[in-house]
Amino acid sequence: MTTIVVDTLQSDNGTLQIADGTQLDFGDGGALVLPGSVVNFAYVEYDGRTSTSCNNNSFTVVPQMEVELVRKVAGSSFHIAFMVNAECTSHDHGLTIHRRSNDGSWSLIGYNTDVGTQRWSGVNHGWYDRNNNSTPYNMGGVWYDPSPSNSTFPVGTRMQYTIGTRSSNSGNRTFWINRTDSRIGQNAYENMVSAGYVMEIAP
């Protein structure tokens, strides 16, 4: 075995090619990036007790659960995970994953593509307690966002993700976060913490 010790490795095009064909990239700031490694991480934690709409005709994003990081490597992918404690007044609902576009709007990316974007579609669903909605439930959502366009989201772009909710019933509802339904009061029964994270993964 031969060992090579150097003080500096420099590339004129941002990459190094090694004998087996593996390409090593230098990310933002010049750090060596190993293929498939986690190069960035961001976390959100929310313990406020609040509510937002949970309508049947459109998905509502939850701004309190927004998590963002700045893209470091071209061609990278993003792993998103959320754990939410909530309930929807008097009916089931779907949980979705959204990514913010450059124009500030939110794009639906995490849902059941076989079903489409109808109100029964999502990455997870929440049930409701028929006993006066007395207990919020815990639900998770995990999604993989593979290689968002380098031209649309170049290195240095703020990558922003959050969850969304939509009533699976024909009526409009309220989505209560970290608390119970208003008919009982936010200090009654369980009050929890919701959290989420996003990881940037090198190509």
Check residue 185 and give its pLDDT: 62
Sheet strands (E) in 89-189: 93-100, 106-110, 124-126, 137-145, 158-167, 173-177
Task: Answer yes or no: is 17 within a domain.
Answer: no
Count of domains in the chain? 1
Q: Kindly state whether residue 25 falls inside one of the protein's structural domains.
A: no
4: in domain: no
Provide the percentage of residues in the chain whose pLDDT is more than 70.
75
* Residue 19 located in a structural domain: no
| Residue 65: strand, helix, or coil | helix
Asked if residue 28 is part of any domain, the answer here is: no
Return the pLDDT at 95. 86
Rounded Cα–Cα distance for residues 108 and 113 (Å): 11
Query: Is 168 a domain residue?
Result: yes
pLDDT score recorded for residue 180: 78
pLDDT tens for 149-160 read: 999 999 999 999
pTM for the structure as a whole: 0.81
Residue-level pLDDT at 83? 94
Coil, strand, or helix at residue 56? coil
pLDDT at 37: 94
115-135 pLDDT per residue, tens = 877 777 778 777 665 555 566
Stretch (H or E) spanning 164: strand 158-167
Would you say 27 and 202 are in contact if contact means Cβ atoms under 8 Å apart? Answer: yes
Residue 15 lies in a domain: no
**Which among 115, 106, 105 has a CA at the least distance from the CA of 164?**
106
Residue 101's CATH number: 2.60.120.1340
| Domain extent for 44 | 35-201
**Rounded to the nearest 5°, which phi and psi values hold at 64?**
-65, -20
Residue 154 included in any domain: yes
Ranges of the chain whose pLDDT falls below 70: 1, 5-31, 90-91, 127-135, 170, 182-188
Looking at the chain, the whole-number percentage of residues with pLDDT higher than 90 is: 39
